Chains A and B, each alone.
Chain A
């Protein structure tokens, strides 16, 4: 079956630090991959996506590259801000099917 594994949180960083949140997946075929973000008190929002191998999704300074050889889609940001504090969810979707989510990783950015 399909599954997504994310690194455990919470991740606590100082402002301007480099961020990596690991995500690996198991899926049949060639799924699309997504990162969603949930800010405190808000609903989930699509952060970025990649639909085929070697694609790089990017948004708001965040990036993730679809690595088929390692079945990974790690989220990175070069310099985090306090406003990036949120819960980040990795997800996959086989073609024409529902999304499968990871358990989420909480990020706390401190001054």
Chain B
């Protein structure tokens, strides 16, 4: 597509439920990133996919968080047994194979997750 698409745009869930957030990157972009933006905080790196390489999961805050990227395109971020502190805006971004060091990222509009 023309941009990075994320769905849903808003999600309200009850504490303890599982949620799935979807990201559809720009066609042809080989790199895909998930970040979390909490109220009053900066952007917290979660996970990074580059082509067929093993993902960089170093930013995932706990084992309740996981992500996969199917066919090198769409990615799903899953949060199990959600907690109130998981409430945040989850941002997805993609970049070309040349990498963010030159071109930067293109961000989606995010999914606002509220855990009640």
Contact = CB atoms under 8 A, between A and B. Distances in A.
A99 B100 contact: yes
Nearest to A44: B107
B67 to A, nearest CB: 14
B42 A97 contact: no
Chain A interface mostly: loop
Interface of A: 31-32, 34, 36, 42-46, 49, 51, 89, 93-104
A34 B104 CA distance: 8
A46 B33 CA distance: 15
Interface in B93-116: 93, 99-102, 104-110
Contacts of B79: none
Contact of B42 (A96, A98, A102): A102
B108 A97 contact: no
Interface of B: 33, 35, 41-43, 45, 48, 56, 91, 93, 99-102, 104-110
Contacts of B93: 44
Q: Which of B42, B45, B48, B110 has the most CB of A within 10 A?
A: B42
B17 to A, nearest CB: 26
A93 B42 contact: no
Contacts of B45: 98-100
A24 to B, nearest CB: 14
Contacts of B33: 98-99
Given A43-B91, A45-B107, A98 B102 contact: no
B101 A96 contact: yes
B48 A98 contact: yes
Q: Which of A44, A95, A103 has the most CB of B within 10 A?
A: A44
Contacts of A95: 99, 101
B104 A46 contact: yes
